Amino acid sequence: MMMGKTVMRIASALLALVLAAMVSGCAFGNKYDYSTAQMSLGSALTQDVAVAVVDERPYIVSGDKDPDFVGLQRGGYGNPFDVTTVSGQPLAQDMTVMLTNSLKNAGAQAVPVLLEPGTSYEAARSKALGLGKSRTLLLEMDEWKSDVAIQVTMHWNLTARIYDANNQLLAEENISGNGGSGEQINMLPSSNGEVAIRQAQKHFSELLSRPSIAAALGK
């Protein structure tokens, strides 16, 4: 009887080790493609818009994380592994593509302004305004990170500002928070990425659908 219990304990321990190794293996090397996200914007847009995203996340500014960092995937023991962009480009550039494509689909004549990592807000505004568009959308990303363990938890702090061709601020809105997606995850990394992308669609759509932003882009 004692031998049987010992064997069962050993088998259980081995199974736990195998499962932890599997989870850790699935946690390593994950990549998300935010450029494919499509926002749902509430009204038809008419302006020609220059679009730029400035990455002000503190761990990017400090150099603790690379500009392509998008979040964390936890292994079997809760140990964190970095998740990065599929493109290998900075997250801010993927977000710029996402915003540009979504605005185009809503009727705007949008063009992306792809910034180099470390570009200041003022330098980004100058570069975007230099295109001579009737509107400039500058999105300041002070936080954007997913953290995948039992569920996909998102952290966000985004500020959108709309300028006219004369550098006059027409609208400014912020959205920030953190919380779990409420969606069950599984062992497939691609599934976690899909949840994170849906969260991006949700939060960015909410920000750009704010009445002041929509009005500035639609007039």
Q: How far is CA 173 from CA 11, 43, 125, 169, 206, in A?
A: 56, 17, 16, 11, 10
* Strand, helix or coil for residue 121: helix
Domain residue spans of the chain: 2-218
Q: How far apart are CA 31 and CA 18, in angstroms?
A: 24
Residue 26 DSSP symbol = H
119 neighbors 140 (Cβ within 8 angstroms):
no
Q: Does domain 2-218 have CATH number 3.40.50?
A: yes
Is residue 86 very low, low, confident or very high in pLDDT (cuts 50, 70, 90)?
very high
Is residue 164 very low, low, confident or very high in pLDDT (cuts 50, 70, 90)?
very high
Task: Please write the tens of the pLDDT for every residue from 111-161.
Answer: 999 999 999 999 999 999 999 999 999 999 999 999 998 788 999 999 999
* Strand, helix or coil for residue 83: strand
More confident residue, 218 or 92: 92
Ramachandran category for residue 177: left, alpha or beta (phi over 0 → left; psi -120 to 50 → alpha): left
What is this structure's pTM?
0.83
